Structure 1
Amino acid sequence: MSHVPHELHEEFPEAEETLRTLKANDAHFARLADEYHTINREVHRIETNVEPAADEVLENLKKKRLHLKDQIAAMIAAAVNTVT
């Protein structure tokens, strides 16, 4: 079990500038990033036993986080491909 928070800037270190630009200029991306951050923090609190939860709850949150990360990755890739 990982006790390391999976912040977006850590997940996509090569895309830090793109992350900032998308957050500032794309309301849908900003909403996805905020939702990712909220779920990510909740997962981290559960994994570090700050906020106990059933294994099923943790697994569902991780699946949601992964789905959001996939959407975010696709948006980052599209933005990078548009620029290059």
Structure 2
Amino acid sequence: MSHVPHELAEEFPEFVEKMSELKVSDAHFAKMFDDYHELNRKVHRAETNVEPREELSEVDLRKRRGSLKDEIYAYLKAL
């Protein structure tokens, strides 16, 4: 279990500029970006016991974050 936040800029450094542009020009991307940030924050807070969760709840959050990260990556690659 990692206690390091998985920020999108760190996950996809090759797309930092593109993500910055899309956050202001593409409403769909902006929503995915915001949703990922919120899920990532919840996972990080659970992993560091700032807001502890039951194990299954934490696993579900991680799965949702991973799925959304995959969706964001596919979106970035398609453009």
Task: Give TM class, smaller chain.
Answer: over 0.9
Aligned counterpart, 1:45: 45
Deviations 1:7-36 (A, max 9, x none): 010100111101111111110110000000
Q: Which runs of 5+ in 1 are unaligned?
A: 80-84
- Output the CA distance in 2 between the equivalents of 1:3 and 1:47: 6
Q: Which runs of 5+ in 2 are unaligned?
A: none
- Output the CA distance in 1 between the equivalents of 2:75 and 2:17: 13
Q: What TM-score do you get using the length of structure 2 for normalisation?
A: 0.97
Matches within 5 A, 1:11-26: 11-26=11-26
Deviation of residue 76 (structure 1)? 0.6
- The yes-or-no answer on 1:27 pairing with 2:27 is yes
- The yes-or-no answer on 1:9 pairing with 2:16 is no
Deviations 1:27-81 (A, max 9, x none): 01100000000000000000001011000000000111011101100111012xx
Aligned-residue CA RMSD in angstroms? Answer: 0.6
Q: What TM-score do you get using the length of structure 1 for normalisation?
A: 0.91
Identical aligned residues as a percent = 56
Runs of 4+ in 1 over 2 A off after TM superposition: none
